[in-house]
Amino acid sequence: MKRKSGAKIEKGISYLKRRLTKPPKKTYWNGEETPAVKVRVVVGAARDGDPPAAWWRKIVGQVRDAVKVTYHGESFYLDNQTGLGWSKVTMGRGSPAWGHSSLPNNSLEIP
């Protein structure tokens, strides 16, 4: 196995330093800047009032990547298994024209 040269190692370290010190992306909901973070959740069970045909009913109890958005004091989860939740709150600026899949609010955040 070949060892990396010192220059390649330094280049890699420089890249990592830039990535780790980069300011966090701004996140939005309905065009307004608002806090959003990537989290992992266990999908919560359906409750009274939840849509009977909600897409997430098939994955209750499963672990999913998600985005937790806090908008005007209310928090909710977007599915981020494919990265579309994060795209919505960054590139899509939280626009209603940018689709998303919601997860139940009683989903449990895990480390």
Banded pLDDT at 106 (limits 50, 70, 90) = very high
Distances (CA, A) of 28 to 57, 58, 66, 70, 74: 27, 29, 15, 10, 14
For the whole model, what pTM was predicted?
0.78
Q: Give the contacts of 59 (CB within 8 A, at least 6 positions apart).
A: 43
How do residues 85-105 score in pLDDT, each as one tens digit? 999 999 999 999 999 999 999
